[in-house]
């Protein structure tokens, strides 16, 4: 096998498929990347038996063939090379890599030991704008549970119906709902799928920059296709919880808060709250202020007030500040957020309305 490819294309391709390399496997073959050269195309594949990634780039192929080389080593080498043509030439069980005055020789692994790329026949699929989907995933994927005993909560629930795309995630302590309106002409009827959160985030990151992403499903797989990249993961079985029954039908108090000031104040108060994650939110409807306060286990204290718009009742509620901060962190582009309370001993609902609507429900904590 012999081929020549640009350093920039090679680095980009290896960066894409690196996500599919097994991190702690005892099988050396799973730390490798399968490189297959055919007429004018180089195909890169990685697999860890949970996900599989394939990416193709154009190249000058002088001699077709296939090999498996350590992916991380090859990526590290490629990143140090100048932006110039890189030539690969395989001789028996080694590959010679040359770029200008640099030369490397790596041992190869047996191609027959490498897992076959999954075959799939999609039962349903939908094509969505890549940039919008990436933003929606960024707002939801970290809200999922890491409890492997409740796998249905390890995923982000995707639904598409009547040109409305919605992502839902929960870890039982908080709930994130993100939706927007898009054209989904490729969709016949409705589409729903529970996607493993890490795979969802990785897939939209790897396919970022493309105009659209095709998401498809089989009975056991979820498939992402964008441009020259294909990402296949196992789908999550089971019925996603009926999250709509968790949403309060009404609210007694509404608080409009500027996100930038809110986030800065919360970070300051949280310095004291490191050993105690609870931060109290005091709402004064008459004065139009919201106070944030925290007390450490050593009785250190912090207080800060914010000017807000309040409609409804005054009162006090406490939240885990980590949960609130993670909500504010994904809304950095927005200017205002609304806190809705049905009562001061029930869940708080934070809402943001824009091109992408965001709802974040979080359970209070006792103090």
User: CB 286: neighbour CB atoms within 10 A?
Assistant: 7
Domain 248-362 is found in CATH 3.40.50.720:
no
Q: What is the pLDDT of residue 209?
A: 67
Q: What is the pLDDT of residue 248?
A: 93
Q: Please check the confidence at residue 234 and state whether its pLDDT lies above 90.
A: yes
Q: 332: helix, coil or strand? A: coil
Q: What is the pLDDT of residue 179?
A: 96
pLDDT confidence bin for 315, thresholds 50/70/90? very high
Q: Please check the confidence at residue 61 and state whether its pLDDT lies above 80.
A: yes
Q: Which of 97, 109, 94, 34 is nearest to 66 (CA)?
A: 34
Digit-coded pLDDT (tens) for 294-308: 998 788 899 999 999
- Region 223-232: mean pLDDT is 95
- Region 8-12: mean pLDDT is 97
Pairing between β-strand 253-258 and β-strand 278-284 as defined by DSSP bridges: unpaired
Which helix (H) or strand (E) covers residue 104, if one does?
strand 102-107
Q: What is the pLDDT of residue 183?
A: 80
Q: What is the pLDDT of residue 292?
A: 97
Identify the residue with better confidence: 25 or 47.
47
Report the top-level CATH class of 2-113. alpha beta
- Region 162-187: mean pLDDT is 90
- Region 206-233: mean pLDDT is 90
Q: Please check the confidence at residue 22 and state whether its pLDDT lies above 90.
A: no
Locate 1 and state its tokens. Answer: 């096998």
What CATH code is assigned to 124-243? 3.10.150.10
Identify the residue with better confidence: 236 or 162.
236
Digit-coded pLDDT (tens) for 176-208: 999 999 887 556 678 999 999 999 999 999 876
Q: What is the pLDDT of residue 246?
A: 92
Q: What is the pLDDT of residue 188?
A: 63
Contacts (Cβ under 8 Å, ≥6 apart) of 53: 16, 17, 19, 20, 45, 46, 47, 206, 229, 230, 231, 232
Q: What is the pLDDT of residue 298?
A: 80
Domain ranges, ordered by start, for the chain:
2-113, 124-243, 248-362
Locate 196 and state its tokens. Answer: 């493993």
Indicate the range of 71-85, 91-105, 181-195, 222-236 predicted with least confidence: 181-195
Tokens 């680095």: give the residue. Answer: 11
One fold for both 2-113 and 124-243? yes
Q: What is the pLDDT of residue 294?
A: 94
pLDDT confidence bin for 273, thresholds 50/70/90? confident
Q: What is the pLDDT of residue 46?
A: 98
């Amino acid at each position: 096998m012999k081929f020549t490819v640009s350093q920039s294309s090679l680095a980009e391709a290896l960066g894409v498929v690196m996500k599919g390399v097994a991190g702690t496997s005892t099988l050396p073959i799973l730390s490798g990347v399968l490189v297959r050269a055919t007429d004018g195309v180089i195909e890169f594949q990685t697999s860890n038996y949970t996900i599989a990634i394939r990416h193709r780039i154009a190249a000058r192929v002088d001699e077709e063939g296939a090999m498996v080389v350590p992916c991380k080593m090859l990526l590290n080498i490629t990143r140090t090379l100048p932006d110039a043509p890189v030539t690969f030439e395989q001789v028996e069980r080694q590959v010679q890599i040359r770029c200008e005055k640099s030369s490397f020789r790596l041992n190869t692994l047996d191609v027959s030991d490498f897992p076959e790329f999954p075959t799939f026949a999609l039962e349903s699929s939908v094509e969505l704008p890549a940039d919008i989907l990436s933003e929606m995933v960024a707002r939801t994927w970290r809200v999922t549970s890491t409890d492997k005993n409740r796998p249905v909560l390890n995923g982000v629930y995707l639904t598409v119906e009547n040109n409305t795309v919605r992502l839902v995630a929960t870890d039982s302590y908080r709930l994130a709902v993100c939706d927007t309106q898009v054209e989904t002409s490729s969709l016949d009827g409705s589409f729903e799928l529970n996607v493993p959160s890490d795979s969802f985030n990785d897939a939209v990151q790897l396919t970022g920059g493309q105009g659209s992403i095709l998401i498809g499903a089989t009975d056991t797989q979820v498939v992402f296709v964008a441009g020259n990249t294909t990402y296949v993961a196992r789908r999550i079985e089971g019925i996603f919880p009926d999250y709509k029954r968790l949403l309060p039908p009404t609210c007694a108090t509404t608080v409009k808060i500027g996100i930038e000031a809110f986030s800065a104040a919360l970070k300051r108060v949280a310095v004291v709250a490191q050993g105690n994650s609870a931060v109290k939110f005091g709402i004064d409807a008459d004065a139009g202020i919201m106070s944030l306060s925290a007390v450490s286990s050593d009785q250190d204290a912090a207080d800060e007030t914010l000017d807000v718009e309040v409609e409804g009742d005054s009162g006090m509620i406490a939240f885990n500040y980590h949960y609130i901060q993670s909500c504010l962190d994904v809304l950095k582009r927005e200017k205002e957020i609304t806190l809705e309370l049905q009562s001061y001993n029930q869940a708080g609902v934070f809402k943001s309305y824009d091109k992408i609507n965001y709802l974040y429900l979080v359970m209070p904590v006792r103090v």
